[in-house]
Amino acid sequence: MIRRLSILAAILILFLALSPAIACVGKTLRIGTLDGAQQEVLAQILSIIIDERTGTGVKIVPFDSSKEAHEALVDADLDMLIEYTGVGQVAVLGGEPIAEGDALYKEVKSRYQQELNLIWLKPFGFEDRARTAPDLPAEAAPVVRKDTLKKFPALSRLINKLGGRIDQATMAQLEGEVSSRGAKSVARSFLKDRKLI
């Protein structure tokens, strides 16, 4: 009897691992975005991959400033936000500037988790130093509420598939195409070309 239950449990775990959609269907995620082609196309990439791969509805919520968007994330009015490491370290955490990219990411990731219950997922693969006042590394990455990841257990694994997939040249190309094709169309083409949807 115990052996039979163990086998059933193993099958169930394997089934859930292979079917990330099951845990997420019928729910809605809210992603915060700022003005500008870069944030718009990244939000659409996240929205489409989540919707297509899990069946979870996604609402993209625009904000006028990163401060407002961050506060909405902390207050649980958002589930996810695209943030930049340098911005997180200096503007959000009030920390000392860290010039080395990997060390900065580790520091921001650790402090966000401990102090804010927010989880940094893998960076997309490009920087936007114009986002920070000092010339700091500013890797873009999705930041998600810890309780959201508990409700959507397949989410981090799915979104981390985007980690390192968008280098500087790719981001510049995507941004350049937004004005003529629209962020949603550009995002869908990107995901299809890379066989992510």
60 lies in a domain? yes
Question: What is the CATH classification number for the domain harbouring 186?
Answer: 3.40.190.10
**100: pLDDT strictly greater than 70:** yes
Which pLDDT score, from 0 to 100, does residue 27 have? 77
Mean pLDDT computed over 61-69: 95
- Angle subtended by helix axes 168-181 and 183-193, to nearest 10: 140
Q: Is residue 157 part of a domain?
A: yes
Report how far apart, in Å, the C-alpha atoms of 137 and of each of 20, 50, 81, 97 are: 33, 28, 18, 9
Tell me the pLDDT tens digit for each residue of 6-39: 554 444 444 444 444 444 455 799 999 999 999 9
What counts of helices (H) and strands (E) characterise the chain? 9, 5
Cα separation, 80 vs 120, whole angstroms: 10
For residue 36, what are its two tokens? 């500008």
For residue 189, what are the contacts with CB-CB under 8 A and spacing of at least 6? 181
The answer to whether residue 4 sits within a structural domain is no
Mean pLDDT score, 84-113: 96
In terms of residue numbers, what domain contains 185?
25-193
CA distance 122 to 101: 13
Domain assignment present for 8: no
Structurally, how many domains does the chain consist of? 1
Instruction: Output the 3-class SS for 87-139.
Output: HHHHHHCCCCCCCCHHHHHHHHHHHHHHHHCEEECCCCCCECHHHCCCCCCCE
